[in-house]
Amino acid sequence: MPGGKLVAVNVRVDDDVPVECALDGDFFVVGGNETQQTSFLKAIGDALIDGEELGSVFRTYSAIRLLGTDAKAIRTAYRRAVQGAKCDAPDAKNRSFRASNTKVKTFDAYETESPLTLFDWRERWQTLKPRVFIDEPRCAKDQMLLEERFAREVACGVRPATVRFWRWSRPAVVVGRFQSIADEVDQVQARRLGFDVVRRPTGGGAMLVEPERVITYSLYAPLDFVAGLSVAQSYRLCDAWLLAAFKQLGLDAHFSGLNDIASQRGKIGGSAQRRYPSRQSGGGAVLHHTMLDWDVHADIMTKVLKVSKEKLSDKAVRSSVKRVDALSRQTDRNQSTMIGSLFDFVSSSI
């Protein structure tokens, strides 16, 4: 169903008995701290192995929510994995099998609140008054370290709200926090083609980065910035200025699902978020980063990223390339000029 995320279950079976289970995917986990979220996902795996209802796990961890998947989708993937393992090698021990599922409700079903009005988002951004800068080129590992550092500094109250436009020094594949690198990335091809593979601190799906083919920015803001908003509304608030800038520049873009930005032709980019709890005198922070496809390198994408049949079926297309609409197709500007235009808009118009 459109808007659903992929959940995958890896099951190890010994003598036809499931003995170990782990979840991964491009879903999001919100609420609680990092330790609680890890325990929550482990508890789901343990409940599947023990044959218990997942509802009890969700009630125990009531402060934590899964976005993009649900108990039914998880159990379906688990059942497929167990059946696959049993059929794969009936006379073997310690075998494992991976199965996935994406047939879940749309994000609209999660969030029923009305969208933010133009006045609402502008008022919050004008109160926020973030520092805005275009960063120096960095490798993917250093980018991820900086994301954590800036977010935690805002959470502690030692850094003001900040918008950072990234620049990349090397090609990379950036994998979501809950994804399996082995199942999302052809690591042999990635190394051969010179791509670094890193995991980011937020959920969502894998993104292919080539320095001249993407536009990336992050917002590090106090948690008060998104106070009183649903998760879906917070995504729209953080990217509202971007859509306003695109409109001013005459570009076609709109929100799609929870975290995508799209044109009439396909997906332009995606966002991801993570909340950081308050520390000492700080009030906590929200990290929100967005990556836009400026000029899609289709051949490289299909070589480096593994795209599941479930995701392709979910999007009702035959290839991942057809899901993407490069932003450069809509303008005569080059990448550097576009980044400058976006910088000027968020710096002076809000």
Per domain, the residue ranges of the chain are 7-110, 118-348
Confidence (pLDDT) at 116: 74
Residues of the chain with pLDDT under 70: 1-3, 88-94, 103-115, 279-281, 308-323
Confidence (pLDDT) at 93: 61
Confidence (pLDDT) at 115: 67
Segment 40-75, tens digit of pLDDT: 999 999 999 999 999 999 999 999 999 889 999 999
CATH topology of domain 118-348: BirA Bifunctional Protein; domain 2 (3.30.930)
Confidence (pLDDT) at 280: 66
pLDDT above 90 as % of the chain: 69
Confidence (pLDDT) at 244: 95
Quick one: CA torsion of 269, 270, 271, 272, rounded to 10 degrees? -150
Confidence (pLDDT) at 257: 86
